[in-house]
Amino acid sequence: MENITIGKLKENFSTSILEINTNNGDAFVLVEKKQIIPILTFLKNDSELDYNMLIDLSAVDYLKHPVKKAERFEIVYQLYSLTKNHKIRIKVSIEMKDLCVDSATSLWKSANWAEREVFDMFGIKFNGHPNLRRILTHHEFIGHPLRKDYPIKKRQILSVNDTLMDEMEQKLREKGLKQ
C-alpha cells in the first residue's frame, strides 16, 4: 500500500526527493537541503496530511558507520499527525563544508530546543533560530560531544556556574515584568 504522505510528496516535490525507503515498516524520505522548509511547511499545512506535531529533531553522524554515506551528517525530522494518526520521517544530508540548515522553529515551537540540542551535540547551525546557544553542555565547553571523532573520555574542567538568567530576563521583559 502506497503511503499517502509519500504519494503527495512525489506529486508536489518530485525533483527535491533524493530517496524514499522504509526501515522496519516506517517510511523515510531523504530530501534536498534547500527545499526542506517548503516541504515541512507543506506537510504541516496540507489538510490531508496535517503533521501538527514535531516529535523529535535529531542528527546522525555517519563518520564511523558501516554504511558509507556521501555526506557526514544527516538531520532527521520525526513528524506525527495527531488528527490523522500517521507518521513520517524526513531526512536531510548535511555536508561538512556547509554545516547549516534552515530552522523549523517558525513551524513547530518544539523545534527550538531540539535544534539547540543538535547545535550543541553536533555543531550544526540552524539559520533563523531565535536563540542558538548550547542547551545541555556548559558555555565554556569546547567541541561537540556526540560527534564520532570526539574522544569519549575527554573531560573538560569548567570554572564557573552556568546561568539561565539571560533567557529568564528576556521572558520577564516580554511579559512586562521587567524593563
Partner 1 sequence: MGLEKFLENAVLTTTISEVLKWGRKNSLYPFAFGTACCAIEFMSLSSSVFDISRFGAEVIRFSPRQADLLLVAGTITFKQAPILKQIYEQMPEPKWVISMGACASSGGFYDNYCTVQGIDEIIPVDVYIAGCPPRPEAILDAIMLIQEKIQKEPTEYQKPKRPIVIGNE
Contact 76, 36 (CB under 8 A): no
Q: Which is nearer to partner 1, 61 or 102 (CB)?
A: 61
Q: How far apart are CA 53 and CA 87, in angstroms?
A: 10
User: What minimum distance in Å lies between the beta carbon of 65 and partner 1?
Assistant: 20
User: What minimum distance in Å lies between the beta carbon of 148 and partner 1?
Assistant: 13
> 3: exposed, middle or buried (C-beta count within 10 Å: 0-12, 13-18, 19+)?
middle
User: What minimum distance in Å lies between the beta carbon of 176 and partner 1?
Assistant: 31
User: What minimum distance in Å lies between the beta carbon of 140 and partner 1?
Assistant: 9
Q: Residue 101: enclosing H or E segment and its boundaries?
A: strand 100-102
**Residues near partner 1, by CB under 8 A:** 137-138, 145, 150-162
Q: How far apart are CA 140 and CA 68, in angstroms?
A: 33
Q: Which is nearer to partner 1, 24 or 159 (CB)?
A: 159
Q: Which is nearer to partner 1, 80 or 150 (CB)?
A: 150
Q: Which is nearer to partner 1, 41 or 156 (CB)?
A: 156
First to last CA, the chain: 58
Q: Which is nearer to partner 1, 47 or 159 (CB)?
A: 159
Q: How far apart are CA 160 and CA 164, in angstroms?
A: 13
User: What minimum distance in Å lies between the beta carbon of 58 and partner 1?
Assistant: 18
